[in-house]
Structure 1
């Protein structure tokens, strides 16, 4: 991205079907309030899928099933408290939501919203995530999920 070492993160793309239509949950980031998907840094005790599922729980209060393989990878710059921009590659896993909790660890720090994949693509800023969401919209239209 700009010659620096790229850090790795893992994301969950929470999905559900309502009235025959696929929906994606977006959440707001804590600092900038941008619309994002739950994501986090590698953890010693969890594999990539475990990290993504754990972030869906901590950041959005979701319980469900994480897919085995990433649906895609997107890149963005994480702005650190120092102002440094850290290039990150994020492996994104579909996360089929089974339960939405009323209370969760970061409830007071974030908003969450269910939208169509196309609407989600218009709300997020990361180009690679936009592409993943648009491919999800296309798959849903062709029932390839």
Structure 2
């Protein structure tokens, strides 16, 4: 390692900040006939990659309420959100100014009961209901892939709706 690359690496470590917090909803439903579980993926507005609805903390709102709000704004879904986190994942968020910040995303399960046809971000996102295996293959974040796989396994093993005990 050259002296310049070592200095650059050390400066980068010194400037590293703790991850910024975000809240997300892993939206799911059961197919009416087969009772198979599907999860909802949305595209990000900037890169078009597949993600789950997520956003920044909101003044006066608890984490699960933020996740529920983001699910409505980004995907037009309403339902029953779990107050307890199901799990967490990390990813690098590209900001408008070109910088990247590390984010820690707290994920809440949301069982979808209704879909609204006209929602705030309808024209800037695509939505798709897919099984857990396909959803995990589409998202880029390894920890999110793991969460989706774990959720699918829990539901396949007969769980009605995983609660905080699932967030191990």
TM-score greater than 0.5 by the shorter chain = yes
Structure 2 equivalent of residue 9 of structure 1: 22
Alpha-carbon distance, 1:44 to partner:
0.6
Structure 2 equivalent of residue 105 of structure 1: 120
Alpha-carbon distance, 1:83 to partner:
1.4
For 2:99, which of 50, 72, 84 is the aligned residue?
Answer: 84
- How many Å separate the matches in 1 of 2:46 and 2:82? 29
Alpha-carbon distance, 1:21 to partner:
0.3
Q: What's the RMSD between the two structures over aligned residues?
A: 0.9
Structure 1 equivalent of residue 137 of structure 2: 122
Alpha-carbon distance, 1:136 to partner:
1.0
Q: Secondary structure at the match of 1:88?
A: strand
Larger Rg: 2
Which structure ranks higher in relative contact order (CA pairs < 8 Å, sequence separation ≥ 6)?
A: 1
Q: Secondary structure at the match of 1:103?
A: coil
For 1:143, which of 158, 163, 167 is the aligned residue?
Answer: 158
| Structure 1: runs of 5+ lacking an equivalent | none
- How many Å separate the matches in 1 of 2:104 and 2:121? 23
TM-score by length of 1: 0.96
Q: Which structure is higher in helix share?
A: 2
- How many Å separate the matches in 1 of 2:150 and 2:29? 16
Structure 1 position 134 matched with structure 2 position 157: no
Say how many residue pairs are matched. Answer: 144
For 1:59, which of 74, 82, 88 is the aligned residue?
Answer: 74
Alpha-carbon distance, 1:10 to partner:
0.3
Q: Which structure is higher in strand share?
A: 1
Alpha-carbon distance, 1:14 to partner:
0.4
Alpha-carbon distance, 1:66 to partner:
0.4
Alpha-carbon distance, 1:45 to partner:
2.3
- How many Å separate the matches in 2 of 1:140 and 1:44? 33
For 2:38, which of 23, 27, 43 is the aligned residue?
Answer: 23
